[in-house]
Structure 1
Amino acid sequence: MIKTPQLKIGPGGGTCLMTGEKLNQLVAAVQARTQMDAKEAGPKGVAGHNPKGGGPKLPPFKQRFDAGKVYVLTPGFVDRLVNAVLARVPREAASMDKSGYNPGGAGIHPRMPVASASGGALKQLVEVVQSLTPRDAAGMGPQGYYFAGPERAPRNASIRLQTQARWCEGWFCNGITNAGNIYTTRTSVAVYQFGTITTTTTQGSIGPHLWNPITNPVRYSCTTPTSTDDRTPGFNYGTGPSSNTISYSGAVTLTDALAAATGNVEWDGTTTDQHTWNWGEYSAVPSTSGYSLSLANYARFATGDYMVRIPQYRWRNLGNLHVGIRWSEGGSTRHITLAPGQDSTWYLSTLPATVNTFSTLASLTLEYPPL
């Protein structure tokens, strides 16, 4: 491919002078970036690879300049040059940067300068011309380039969403409860005709206990509360009881079990393929506007008993094209670009503050870069 010329261009907005030699090099570089087998070609750019070859031709930029002269660039000339470059911008590109572009995408247009004869506009235009260099053209020459023939199969794009199950249950032994609370001790004072009997019931190993896949794989079984009293053997307490007063002590903070479970969530070894999106390089990116996935949540099984699930998730690029991914989850919006064969990091889903409420992966968009 004919290289773009190296120009010494200032950022100012005044008159721009260029030698005929540099102008000829620039025009040749623009002409060489004409796609010779495009499906379509026009003022809005070129689109697609024509597998039969011989697609629409773009008109050459015919003007040639005297190499030994210095020319004053007018806004009208730069306007023609901008239009010639814009007609060669691929409407379908997987990615585009200073190294060139990959075909097959969703209309990646570099920012074109406003037609003016300023040095800044011309510098930006030269950068755009450089970005039009295709990375995988089959042949190149002064009149343009072409891609491989029909034996070249279209590349595919493929993005997969995976999750890993992570969970933990935390609970208190609830052998002694009252009015929605859990206690370690219940005391009963029964008044009889000739004396009182005090009975103390105690819940041992009250917790909180944890059940998770690695550290605590066997769920703890709560013991039955034990009771003792101060009854004097052989003493006649007479009739009764005429009253029985019950009190509770050692109240636990129920949400301590939730906090313990949240802080000890572990991966259970299960990885699930949630969804895979596949499409061809010349096809439209699939719509994901209605897609959502429920992730982190916690349930209250009983008083002081909580099951917490905080899955993690990742994206995998299983195809042959760069793909951008944008989504929201847990109040955060993220966007990444994955190269072919690349996996994203594992993202930890966000646990909501309300029971039986799910954190949701939503607002998903798949697109060709840049995002």
Structure 2
Amino acid sequence: MTFVLFPAIDLRGGRVVRLAQGDPGRQTVYGDDPLAVAERWRAEGAEWLHVVNLDGAFGDDSAPNRRALRAILAAGVRVQFGGGLRDKIGLQRILDLGVARAVIGTAAVEDPALVDWALAAFGPERVVVGVDARDGLVRLRGWTQGTGLTAADLGRRLRAQGLTTCVFTDVARDGVGAGVNVAASAALAQATGLRVIASGGVSGLDDVHRARRAGLAGLIVGRALYEGQVRLSEARAVAALPWPVELAGHGVRLRPPRPDEMAYVRRLWSDPERMAPVGGVWPMTDEEAGRWYARVVDPGRPTDFFCLIFDAASDEPVGEVGCRQFNWETRTALFNVTVAADRRGRGYGRAALRVFLDWFFNRLGAWMLVDDLAPENAPGQRALLRFGFERDPAVAGHVRLTRERFNRLYGC
């Protein structure tokens, strides 16, 4: 299933705006030229735009927004458009104008026959329904009216009608950067069989990563893009990243630990010999282990990559390798590789380095890796220097390796 990122262009009076929690009184204006905004997102790699006619949703004059939509369509990006589409004439006009996909909102609840007609006339690939909810209950007319209908009940009815995709918005989170309600979005998909595009509350790349890992169809991003918390190019890179990372070569396999393998991780980090150079053992409690697993492995974060090292022949774990604090702007990260004390001297560390760094530099697209070794960890420093790392002149104990140097040394 392809995961799609949709930059949002919300229109009010022909201008590009965002509303906090759908409140017209809490409006921020981001531009007076919708075409320029659309061209910006196209230049940054957008394949779709999510355009909303807020005036139509509120029942106000939509003429300026219709003119803005025509301008946006000239940018040559596929448009998913909604807001105030409540009859056949409106849907026909919008789709004839060149909109790739129409979003029906209030009318899907108040006039189910309109959904039947639209699906028959245009097909499920060109019709979606906006399911907007607060505390699990559907909201209508620009979120100003409540209902007693649950999002799941509406979704099941829509799927029975032949709909395949919906846009789910947690109204309480929209426009305030509180984080996407991935759990509710995934639950809606599970309960209904619909492909769910999540909307509302994106605050950073973690939201993109979590939405994709949850199996959602896409994510609509608004305020976070306009205010710089998310760069579209970086979000697209996160969305395209194969996850989980599973690699093999040079006699080793690398993959994230399964839950039942956390016992090995905890033993590794409780080994005095192994942990002495990095400040001592870390005897994780069950609660700490659970929090660490959620943060680094599942669902994980797009800044941390942790794998166990396995002997390819025996499939036994022999150590760990990974990076953390990956900066998607500078394409740098901190690094760690460790082989269990009883497995050292057999080439596992060097093999894991070759495999992991080839992925890190040439598939992830990183530029530099830094290992923040403790100054007293002389054996670790010597091993990495032999591999090809260089000392960081600015920080004692740190060694670093660039993509250019790695590829030159190892012919990648």
After TM superposition, the score normalised by the length of structure 1 is 0.26
Q: Point out which structure has higher relative CO (alpha carbons under 8 A, 6+ apart).
A: 1
After TM superposition, the score normalised by the length of structure 2 is 0.24
**Greater helix content:** 2
Which is higher, the Rg of structure 1 or of structure 2?
1
